[in-house]
Amino acid sequence: MLSYALRRLALALITLWLATLLVFGALLLIPGNPAQAILGLEATPEDVAALEARLGLDRPPLERYLSWLGGVLRGDLGQSIRYEQPISELIVARLGITLPIVVASLLLATFIAVPLGILAARQAGSLVDLAVSLGALLGIVLPSFWVGLMFIYIFIVWLKLPLPTSFPIGGWENPERALAALVLPVLTVGLASASFLVRLVRGSVLEVLHQDYIRTARAKGLSERVVLYKHALRNAALPVVTVLGLEFASLLIATVVVETVFGIPGLGSLSLTAISARDYPLVQGVVLVIAAFIVLMNLAVDLLYGLLDPRVSYG
């Protein structure tokens, strides 16, 4: 098991490196210039050249990439071009907002999706099943920027709940207000994620319930409760766990829409700023961190498999 994990980690490092290479290449291909973006339309070409020199952007791309990579190996993600701040500080601050949203949204999604999915699977074809499926469909097709805005109008403007419409100035200095600012974003992301998960849980449970060993379990007179909880769910959980791991990683970036609506300075909006400002090192840093999360989540999921399914072993 340990050697398996180590091998996977080594592979992960290569994956991460390839990801940075890919992103760097892509950024070279798209037009745009960070210095001009900072200076705006009134600046002269001489102004732009001077800023490029100050930011070190006049060096050849390969040299810039290698010096960045060297920094990363020494644990230094470098300086953001736009913010002139250490990238690691920027990312840590943003993760401190986005991670709570993602974790809480996934928890909310799981708490909604698992019971509803099981319920719908057990009563497949019933009105309950239909209602759950319809609700899930709605949650998937409604865009989250619209849902988020509607939540603001329903909960804050009409119902006058004491929630902020955007992340408070001062951030976590005022923890209650900051937490309150995350309620609606979590609800928005969580419900969307639940809509996606509930279909998966339903499908997975339904498939397992049609397996031979379930029929056998029922045939030998086990109660439906034991059949469901002891035999079916454990097996049905496998694909759900896989997707949850991937969903976690994708939400890190997918929150960008919600972050825009709710004015949240999270990782998603940071990556958006970084790309539109052509802040190459910042984009690289964000990609590296997100790729690391994806790789780690995949690894965690694989290892969890071993616990959930005794047939899986790591040699």
Partner 1 sequence: MKRWLLVGLLAFFGLGLAQQRGGSITIALQTEPAAWDPTQVAGADISRVVYDNVLQGLVKRNPKGEIVPSLATRWTVSDSGLTYTFTLRQGVKFHDGSDFTAQDVLAKFNRARNPDTRASGHLRPDLYRDIADISSPNPSTVVFRLRQPNNDFLFILSRPESLIGPRQRPLAEQRVQPIGTGPFRFAGWERGVAVRLERNPNYYLPNLPYLDRVNFRFLGDGDAQLAGLRAGDLDVIAYSLLPENAVVLSRDPNFKVFSGSGTAEAVAGFNNSRPPFNDVRVRRAITLATNKDELIQGAMLGYGTKIGSMRSPGEACYVDLSNFNAYNPDEARRLLAEAGFTNQNPLRFTFNLAAEFPYERRIGEAMVAQLNRLGPLQVTIQVTDFNTWIQRVFSQADYAMTIIGHVEANDIGNYANPRYYWRYNNPRFQQLFTQYLRAPNQTKACEALAAAQRLLAEDAASVWVMSLPALGAHRARVQNWPDSFLSPGISVAEVWVR
Residues near partner 1 (CB under 8 A) are: 30-33, 36-47, 50, 53-54, 82-85, 90, 93-94, 145, 149, 152-153, 156-157, 164-167, 169-171, 260-263, 265, 269-270, 273, 276-278
Cβ at position 39, least distance to partner 1 in Å:
5
Nearer to partner 1, 117 or 185 (CB): 185
Q: Report how far residue 157's alpha carbon sits from residue 74's, in angstroms, rounded to the nearest whole number.
A: 50
Cβ at position 54, least distance to partner 1 in Å:
7
Q: Report how far residue 148's alpha carbon sits from residue 154's, in angstroms, rounded to the nearest whole number.
A: 10
Cβ at position 248, least distance to partner 1 in Å:
23
Q: Report how far residue 115's alpha carbon sits from residue 15's, in angstroms, rounded to the nearest whole number.
A: 36
Cβ at position 281, least distance to partner 1 in Å:
14
| Residues facing 86 on adjacent strands | 79
Cβ at position 256, least distance to partner 1 in Å:
12
Nearer to partner 1, 169 or 219 (CB): 169
Cβ at position 214, least distance to partner 1 in Å:
49
Nearer to partner 1, 79 or 193 (CB): 79
Nearer to partner 1, 151 or 293 (CB): 151
Question: Residue 79 — φ and ψ, nearest 5°?
Answer: -105, 140
Nearer to partner 1, 91 or 240 (CB): 91
Nearer to partner 1, 32 or 70 (CB): 32
Nearer to partner 1, 182 or 240 (CB): 182
Cβ at position 149, least distance to partner 1 in Å:
6
Place of tokens 């397996």: 211
For 75: left if phi > 0, alpha if psi spans -120 to 50, otherwise beta; the answer is left
